[in-house]
Amino acid sequence: MHGLMQEWPLVCHKIIDHAARQHPNREVVSRSVEGPIVRTTYAGVRDNARKIAQLLAREGFQPGDRIATLAWNTGRHLEAWFGIMGMGGVYHTLNPRLFPEQIAWIMNHASDRAIFTDLTFMPLVEKLVPSVESLRKVIVMTDAAHMPETALPNVVSYEEWLDEADGDFEWADVGEDAACGMCYTSGTTGDPKGVLYSHRSNVLHAMMAAMPDAMGVGSKDVILPVVPMFHANAWGLGQTCPMIGAKMVMPGGKMDGESIYELLDTEKVTFTAAVPTVWLMLLQYLEQNDKKLPYLKKVVIGGAACPRAITEKFEKNYGVEVIHAWGMTEMSPLGSLCTMKPQHAGKTGDALLDIKQKQGTAPFGVEMIVTDDDGKELPWDGKTFGRLKVRGPAVASSYYGGDGAEQFDEDGWFDTGDVAHIDPDGYMQITDRSKDVIKSGGEWISSIELENLAVGHRDLAEAAVIGLPHEKWGERPLLVVVAREGCAPSRDDILAFMDGKIAKWWMPDDVAFVDEIPHTATGKIKKTALREQFAHYRFPG
């Protein structure tokens, strides 16, 4: 027997329609690439998205066509997303922090047919276009006054292009399982792999993200997505914000501490999200300039493990709740968020921080297990760690083109490549990437826990830990650090700071000082590059 409910497909253009009807005057504020702060509304975003969809369809682009974006977080980028999806196309976010050769490879793999780009990236686009045979059109997201000279064919100014449309367009009639978005993994272990989102998965993910025990946001919030739209969908905020009617504040290309603080303060931001390195810069700016955060209530930190010191400073010094989160491009991307269950309501101080160090619990829509190398499920005891696997309606079932099939099993589980344990209350904690865990004397040492402990030292700006060969133990940890400007910590001082806070056999065998730690295009520590850098290193003695 079938239920007698209406067929109402979960398609993404319904999100912007809802925002324009229920929250038409709610602002979308952007720091424009040209410089000034510009303002529009959800009604304005919907109007321009309809024009974009109309123009793309008029010019012969078809449902299913991949349309790339190479742009910062702005209102125009949001309009492009909904316009592409509303035409039936697939927005494909490109990460400008990759090498040009990598971007060209990704565009060719995806067969991108057009690209929306910001002024910042025009020199890069001019290098890319000759290498991408499928590309037909370049839309530069600016007005006529700022349009750069270029020898590229089929290039238009965004604002002039929009003037050619009246917006009288019916959204494409696509099913909820149709593809609507695409993002490639960072490719740290081989070529990047394409993740293809559906309308249904994006809508469900936006609902999951907004839930009280997830991000817990609503129409009264003012949300600053610092995490880029090209970094795993801006963690879903591009769909969640219009769905709930929250005011959006878009930072453009300026991610330094002062610029982020300016937006937090002038726009009275209540909620924001980014990777730890952004918050390290902000906290340093706040401390150096004696600034406060009177409006900010909540910050989500993910993309890499959040050092305990960041959580402690936000909560103790500024009264801002920190939600430690974890996810992956393959998960749209949210997998878990560390909000407090009732049994933890009374915890304070170190007891509370101990829990907040974990990546948290899975929202409805994400199932997770931990297994051994043979696939046997391990207990949720908070101690036994193994391979973290997930499944759910917003989790990839395969990669575009069939790459990486070994990460998906016959029961639908996706092997994340992370090593983790889960406690009896359902709180998951990443202990390492499977390729980064240090195996010493037959036991595992978590490089992440060592990094988070070390970076709490007052004189350190950043820390990374890698395992290097050892004749007796197989591998031992080397701590690689960057000192804060004007500070000169010693090896013995750093190790003394860590002593007593971890098991003796976990203590790094040595400390190496560097000017800079290499990072991937998504801001994560690039362990492969560190291992190459220290390939000939030998431990003392």
Amino acid, res. 220: K
Rounded-to-integer distance, Cα 204 and Cα 424, Å: 27
**337 near 211, Cβ under 8 Å?**
no
**Residue 75 structure tokens:** 């209102």
Bridge-based pairing of strands 155-157 and 137-140 is parallel
Which three-class secondary structure state does DSSP give residue 264? helix
Could you say which DSSP state residue 14 is in?
Answer: H
**Residue 21 structure tokens:** 């009807």
Residue 469: name the closest of 536, 529, 541, 417 by CA. 536
Check 341, 439, 443, 505 and give the catalytic one.
439
Q: Is residue 14 among the annotated active site residues?
A: no
Check 79, 176, 330, 462 and give the catalytic one.
330
Could you say which DSSP state residue 426 is in?
Answer: S
How would you class 353 by CB atoms within 10 Å of its CB: exposed for 0-12, middle for 13-18, buried for 19 or more?
A: middle
Residue with tokens 């690439």: 33
Check 185, 272, 361, 416 and give the catalytic one.
185
Q: How many helices (H) and strands (E) does the chain have?
A: 16, 24
Q: In what order do the strands lie in the sheet with 334-337?
A: 37-41, 27-31, 247-250, 222-225, 271-274, 298-301, 321-327, 334-337
Q: Is residue 380 among the annotated active site residues?
A: no
**Residue 278 structure tokens:** 């952004």
Rounded-to-integer distance, Cα 147 and Cα 158, Å: 9
Residues 6+ apart with CB under 8 A from 376: none
Rounded-to-integer distance, Cα 171 and Cα 280, Å: 42
Rounded-to-integer distance, Cα 89 and Cα 54, Å: 12
**480 near 449, Cβ under 8 Å?**
no
**Cα 535–Cα 540–Cα 541 angle in degrees, nearest 5:** 120
Could you say which DSSP state residue 145 is in?
Answer: G
Check 120, 126, 312, 444 and give the catalytic one.
444
Q: Is residue 501 among the annotated active site residues?
A: no
Q: Is residue 444 among the annotated active site residues?
A: yes
Which residues belong to the active site? 185, 330, 439, 444
